[in-house]
Structure 1
Amino acid sequence: MPDRSHSIVVCDDVSFAWPDGTEVLYDISAVFGSGRTGLIGANGAGKTTLLKLMAGRYSPTSGSIAVSGSVGYLPQHLTLETQETVADLLGIRTKIDALAAIESGDVDPKHFDTIGEDWDIEARARAALDDIGLMDIDLARTVGTLSGGESILIALVGLQLGEHDVVLLDEPTNNLDRETRATLYETITRWRGTLIIVSHDVTLLDLMDNTAELHTGSLTIFGGNYSAYIDYLQQEQAAAEQSLRTAEQKLKTEKRQRIEAETKLARRKRFGNKAFENKREPKMIMKLRKQQAQVSAGKLRDEADDKVLVAREEVDELSQKVRADKHIRIHLPDPEVHNLRRLVEFQQPDARPVIIQGPERVAITGRNGSGKTLLIERLLSNDHSEASCISGTSYTDRIGYLPQRLDHLDDEITMLEAFRLAAPHAESEHIRAQLARFLFRADTVKQKIGELSGGERFRIALALLLLAEPPNELLILDEPTNNLDLKTIQEFVEALNTYQGALIIVSHDDVFLRQINIDTWLHLDAGGLHRSDGPSGT
């Protein structure tokens, strides 16, 4: 195994802005040495952008990034590349093509150069796929025919085959079932070299040696895992908030004393004017005393003003240390679904149908590749063509669907244009107000959907879903927590817990599923769709 103990990524005053001038990262300087680092931050903070800068996909607007050794990169939107093949995901497409060319009789030297020492690359790839349970998968198969979990798992195998010095993973546990996640966790603990992972998976983040957080364009690195960092951050914020309250109280005191000083000076002035008018002392002495009083008053005002200014500057400085993060505001409409209203029926050969009615909350679980997404697609299309397969019938056309890949969005149009297509009769002010609830404000609504981060893409998809009028009676969500930051997941949970319609959720995120109070757990495997007791009973 190659020695990767000296692998390193150095960021030197790195800044990045989009072509329209929107700044994302500001003067970031950091060193990522050998070891595991979890990169966290709110959606849109620039985590994916920073990884792409390290991977050489983007160039900094200013500053530089130096990387020692080869770089392997797992992109966030991997599952959107539906035309990519398994060989592409493994990173061996050119070598496989070169081998095929040589076997067909083409002895061009470039093919031999491409293969190098990897004459057994196909056999090694097949063995690696066998190890993760994908024994019969064809190297020419496309991403569009794979489940999201299968795609990510294959790409991770490719990174291992590549033996890179620096590996960058963007949300690697998205779509992975719990068994595969456990395998990934074990693999991560044994990984050598520099590993930087963007994730919202707390279990994974707690396996990291270090935590790096992007917040308001700046980067903070902490020597510990995610839970340790959150404990530190909470203590720091509590101290900062206490200091801010003390400074604000001091500012109030200084302002009050400034007013009291003005009152005292006004009283002195009235007394002096009265004495001058009554001519109690010689005129020359009276003028001298007036001048002295004016100088004294000026000094007193200056001193009071200086104290107020210093107190205000302290408040401003401490305010910068206290976080006031913006949050999305999701308000789901009430579709008024009656408890006895039948909404969905799943039919399956040689088994009783599964019926969903009223505002029932249903979770569908199962291994990667078991057909969960296919089951949802057959339900939405009312496809009963294959008698041997599970099919579904919906009894309502008021269904909102959030697909796993989020590939139903047009990357070439702006958010504003997407909303106008979804709500052609809505006024522009109403559309902008809806977007503002999801933190898309001002000119950001003119940003193309293809330029959005995974979390931003989810927010716009969800916002479009909630524009439905009349409100959807059933929401079907396929891996909805993919790419969401931890704060947004919590807000999403709170919103779903106020929703009065029916929910069908396909997810491997057990923590999320338990938080939204699932009524019915369904598990899909080779034996069909059957009820279970949840993750512990599947």
Structure 2
Amino acid sequence: MCIHIQSVTYMHPDKDVLFSNVSFSMGKGEKVALIGNNGSGKSTLMQLITKELSPSEGEVICLEPPYYIPQHFGQFNHLTIAGALRIEGKIQALHAILQGDVSVEHFTVLDDDWDIEEKAVAALHEWGLPGVPLSHPMHLLSGGEKTKVFLAGIALHSPSFILMDEPTNHLDDVSRGKLYRFITSTSSDMLVVSHDRILLNLLSSTYELTSKGVIYYAGNYDFYKEQKELAVQALQARLEENGKQLQKARRQAREVMERQQKHDVRGKKQNIKSGVGKMAMNTFKDQAEKSSVRLNNVHTDKIHSLAKSVTDIRSELPDMKTMRLDFNSSSLHIGKVLVTAKNLNYAYQSEELWKSPLSFVIQSGDRIHLKGANGSGKTTLLKLLTGTLSPTAGELTRMDGLTCVYLDQEYSIIHDDLSVFEQLFSFNNKLYDHELKTILNRFLFPVSGWDKKCSCLSGGEKMRLSLCCLMVSTQTPDLFIVDEPTNNIDIMNMEILTDTLKEYRGTLLVVSHDACFVQQINIEKTITLNM
């Protein structure tokens, strides 16, 4: 056993329970997927395992500290690469010794790891960061490059247990392939949070985290999905059957009470005809009322039992609410030229970004995949297309009046100081408040979350709110640009987004390293960037 989690509950500082009674164990040689909806607490559970957080109740036991690749890297921005890899002390000790300082302290810190610098440089090269010095500041690296730094650290620390939180979010295609091969070949135990369906299918078993605990599935993601669908079908069949029984019980209760009331009326008339005395009449009346109460109680108990069963089954069914997007398509005719690039390039200082200048045409109705390795200039090209930057070489011609909607990786249209409702209202030009609130519900924002500050939203929530804002806006874009849209949303919402973009009839430009996603949204053209 490499990890044992026993009856763990975690409460936020405001006392809201994130999840409760989570229990599971992992044995040696296991590679396990941890999945769950946005906000279910997957990253929090990872931090409980690494001891960055403490559980409100329960116990987390790790035989040895795991090696952790987090989803977000902001906490490392003040460090160098060596510092983030926790080898800076060894590097400094090595250099001090080589310069003649033979203090015992330096030898103790180095711990005979004489080739630490060579190993680190080789590991960075292996993960696609050749020539990047260990003294390079982390805050100057892209998200994909930061991920590669921590992947390179595996070779330095040789961990037996690895935690990964969305490791493919920012990785390019080549690095994703390398990661897939590493996962299948390593002997290390692994617990991986991911929505990457290719990666999830490489793992041998699946844990689903819910607010009530963890559900175990003895197979990969495809197996999980199949079992989940079968379970939902079974629950829906039970719900339908219990619903029928509940209707029948209510009908029977109504019929029995109607018969009893008719019987009591007939009995009373018969007693009057027979000249029964007032005292005896009262006795008969009491007996009839008690009989009615007993009958009513029997049926009420049965109805309550069935109603509770129906409620319980409904609570077991997954949340079938889904966000629904309804973007208007541009009125431009198919094939109208929107953007023309001829020998396009951009130089940072004096060095041009692309060895081969770019030439392409974007027409109305195109569905384009912009692809390239980390650092190949995808974000720069998007800024050129939207007019944020101007080319330093070549030509970029945009149609007069071209309108673009650019949904970037940072969801910069979201203002952290606004509440969820205020954010949506700021994009609204035509809808009433109650219509906006209905739309928020459709986008999975309940009433309790409307006053929540946008700064407190998860990545997936910001993604959904961004799409919601774009939908209520009166602007119908000629070109819709989405940059890594699947990075921070759970599998359910990713499938909804996939279906939505597949049905979208406007001009679409997508940056994504998610091969399944790109294939499913019916991409027709590709622009490939080579450095």
**TM-score (normalizing by structure 1):** 0.85
Give the distance between the partners of 2:255 and 2:472, measured in 1 at CA: 56
Give the distance between the partners of 2:413 and 2:134, measured in 1 at CA: 26
Shift of 1:69: 0.6
Question: Which residue in the other structure is 2:211 paired with?
Answer: 216
- Residue identity in the other structure for 2:48: L
Q: 1:297 to 1:382 in 2, by over 3 A?
A: closer
Question: Which residue in the other structure is 1:530 paired with?
Answer: none
- Residue identity in the other structure for 2:19: L
Shift of 1:297: 3.2
> Is 2:19 aligned against 1:13?
no
Question: Which residue in the other structure is 2:65 paired with?
Answer: 70
1:186-242 Cα shifts (integer Å, max 9, x gaps):
211233343111111122111212201012342212222222122222222211211
Question: Which residue in the other structure is 2:527 paired with?
Answer: 522
Aligned with residue 188 of structure 1, among 179, 183, 190:
183
After the TM superposition, which of the residue ranges 214-223 and 448-457 deviates more from structure 2? 448-457
2:368 is paired with a residue whose SS is strand
Give the distance between the partners of 1:400 and 1:415, measured in 2 at CA: 20
Give the distance between the partners of 1:52 and 1:460, measured in 2 at CA: 26
Instruction: Give the conservation status (yes or no) of the 8 Å contact 1:202–1:226.
Output: yes
Give the distance between the partners of 1:84 and 1:503, measured in 2 at CA: 38
Give the distance between the partners of 1:142 and 1:425, measured in 2 at CA: 47
Give the distance between the partners of 1:447 and 1:111, measured in 2 at CA: 51
Aligned with residue 461 of structure 1, among 439, 460, 466:
466
After the TM superposition, which of the residue ranges 110-119 and 96-105 deviates more from structure 2? 96-105
Aligned identity (percent) is 32
1:50-88 Cα shifts (integer Å, max 9, x gaps):
112212222223333222212221121237966654334
After the TM superposition, which of the residue ranges 516-525 and 167-176 deviates more from structure 2? 516-525
Question: Which residue in the other structure is 2:403 paired with?
Answer: 398
1:280-295 aligned at under 5 Å gives the runs 289-295=284-290
1:130-184 Cα shifts (integer Å, max 9, x gaps):
2234322233334554443333222211133222333211111123233322221
Question: Which residue in the other structure is 1:373 paired with?
Answer: 379
- Residue identity in the other structure for 1:370: S
- Residue identity in the other structure for 1:442: V
Instruction: Give the conservation status (yes or no) of the 8 Å contact 1:335–1:470.
Output: no
Aligned with residue 474 of structure 1, among 475, 479, 485:
479
1:52 is paired with a residue whose SS is helix
Instruction: Give the conservation status (yes or no) of the 8 Å contact 1:398–1:472.
Output: yes
Give the distance between the partners of 2:228 and 2:153, measured in 1 at CA: 36
Question: Which residue in the other structure is 1:255 paired with?
Answer: 250
- The CA RMSD measured in Å over matched residues stands at 3.2
Q: 1:176 to 1:144 in 2, by over 3 A?
A: same
Structure 1 unmatched runs, 5+: 1-5, 527-538
Q: 1:7 to 1:297 in 2, by over 3 A?
A: closer
> Is 2:436 aligned against 1:442?
no
> Is 2:481 aligned against 1:486?
no
Give the distance between the partners of 1:417 and 1:113, measured in 2 at CA: 57
Question: Which residue in the other structure is 1:240 paired with?
Answer: 235
Aligned with residue 28 of structure 1, among 18, 22, 36:
22
Q: 1:332 to 1:504 in 2, by over 3 A?
A: same
Instruction: Give the conservation status (yes or no) of the 8 Å contact 2:50–2:65.
Output: no
1:260-409 aligned at under 5 Å gives the runs 260-279=255-274, 289-348=284-343, 353-381=359-387, 383-387=389-393, 392-395=396-399, 396=401, 398-406=403-411
- Residue identity in the other structure for 1:488: N
Shift of 1:376: 1.9
Instruction: Give the conservation status (yes or no) of the 8 Å contact 1:478–1:505.
Output: yes
The count of aligned residue pairs is 518
Give the distance between the partners of 1:81 and 1:421, measured in 2 at CA: 34
1:78-101 Cα shifts (integer Å, max 9, x gaps):
379666543345443343344455
Give the distance between the partners of 2:248 and 2:83, measured in 1 at CA: 67
Q: 1:120 to 1:209 in 2, by over 3 A?
A: same
Q: 1:421 to 1:18 in 2, by over 3 A?
A: farther
Q: 1:76 to 1:283 in 2, by over 3 A?
A: same
Shift of 1:511: 1.9
Q: 1:117 to 1:436 in 2, by over 3 A?
A: farther
1:317 is paired with a residue whose SS is helix
1:430-466 Cα shifts (integer Å, max 9, x gaps):
6655543322233424444454333223223333444
Q: 1:287 to 1:467 in 2, by over 3 A?
A: closer
Aligned with residue 148 of structure 1, among 134, 143, 147:
143
> Is 2:171 aligned against 1:176?
yes
Q: 1:141 to 1:338 in 2, by over 3 A?
A: farther
Instruction: Give the conservation status (yes or no) of the 8 Å contact 2:123–2:155.
Output: no
Give the distance between the partners of 1:93 and 1:466, measured in 2 at CA: 48
Aligned with residue 33 of structure 2, among 38, 45, 68:
38
- Residue identity in the other structure for 1:471: T
- Residue identity in the other structure for 1:453: S
Aligned with residue 59 of structure 1, among 54, 57, 75:
54
1:497 is paired with a residue whose SS is helix
1:276-319 Cα shifts (integer Å, max 9, x gaps):
22126677776665554444333322222222222223223323
Question: Which residue in the other structure is 2:353 paired with?
Answer: none
Question: Which residue in the other structure is 1:123 paired with?
Answer: 118
2:164 is paired with a residue whose SS is strand
- Residue identity in the other structure for 1:522: I
Give the distance between the partners of 1:63 and 1:359, measured in 2 at CA: 55
Question: Which residue in the other structure is 1:531 paired with?
Answer: none
Shift of 1:22: 2.9
- Residue identity in the other structure for 1:398: T
Aligned with residue 508 of structure 1, among 513, 524, 529:
513
Question: Which residue in the other structure is 2:132 paired with?
Answer: 137
Q: 1:17 to 1:461 in 2, by over 3 A?
A: farther
Give the distance between the partners of 1:259 and 1:51, measured in 2 at CA: 54
1:214-273 Cα shifts (integer Å, max 9, x gaps):
123422122222221222222222112111211111111111110111111111111111
Instruction: Give the conservation status (yes or no) of the 8 Å contact 2:341–2:359.
Output: yes
**TM-score (normalizing by structure 2):** 0.86
Give the distance between the partners of 2:115 and 2:468, measured in 1 at CA: 49
Shift of 1:368: 3.1
Instruction: Give the conservation status (yes or no) of the 8 Å contact 2:325–2:471.
Output: no
Q: 1:464 to 1:260 in 2, by over 3 A?
A: closer
